[in-house]
Amino acid sequence: MQEKQVILVDHNESGQAVRGIQDAQILEIIDHHRLGTIETMTPVYFRNQPLGCTATIIYQMYQEQGVELTREIAGLLCGAIISDTLLFRSPTCTAIDRMVAEKLGMIAKIDLESFAKEMFAAGSNLKNKTEEQIFFQDYKRFTMESLEVGVARLVQ
């Protein structure tokens, strides 16, 4: 059977990847997190930049390839930057993230402040969610030496 070919985006830890990742062929990794535990069988295209959001890297790749962004894609990438950087307030946010989000906001024709407010309100709405759903909402697994560690947090 032909192995599935995957590109890991926004993560590089095997514990955070989709189930069955050990049987897949990883073609590329595009990420902004610390280096984790992924091992590959072959050399891969690996792009890791210390920015506030992977969407900022994706925007750069669009620019490098000379591909125009549609309004929809610009809106999605902009939303990702706002979410990851908590509207530029997270300590990992850089001036590049901010500049890119502003450009994307212009293409998508959205006002960043009000868009962010709506997004955060929707994201922190716990109505109709079970305790389990709330707990695992932002759950991430990390491998530290021989330990498997899970971190869950609730951003309010």
Interacting residue ranges for Mn ion, rule: CB under 5 A: 10, 54, 84
Nearest to 143 by CA among 13, 33, 8: 13
Q: Could you give the CA distance from residue 97 to residue 137 in angstroms, rounded to a whole number?
A: 24
Separation between Cα atoms, residue 121 and residue 141, nearest integer Å = 26
Shortest approach of Mn ion to residue 72 CB, angstroms? 20
Q: Decide whether 23 or 153 has the Cβ nearer to Mn ion.
A: 153
Is residue 47 helix, strand or coil?
strand
Longest dimension (CA), the chain: 49
Closest CA relative to residue 56, chosen from 37, 28, 76, 81: 81
Residue 106 and residue 144 in contact, taking contact as beta carbons nearer than 8 Å: no
Shortest distance in whole angstroms from residue 53 CB to Mn ion = 5
**Smaller CB separation from Mn ion, 13 or 84:** 84
Q: Of 4 and 34, which CB lies nearer to Mn ion in the complex structure?
A: 34
> What's the rounded Cα separation, in Å, for the pair 142 and 110?
36
Instruction: Provide, rounded to whole angstroms, the least separation between the CB of residue 84 and Mn ion.
Output: 5
Question: What's the token pair of residue 23?
Answer: 């049987």
Query: Minimum Å distance from CB 3 to Mn ion?
Result: 26
Residue whose CB is less far from Mn ion, 3 or 139: 139
**Cβ proximity to Mn ion, 26 vs 51, nearer residue:** 51
CB of 141 to Mn ion, least distance (A): 15
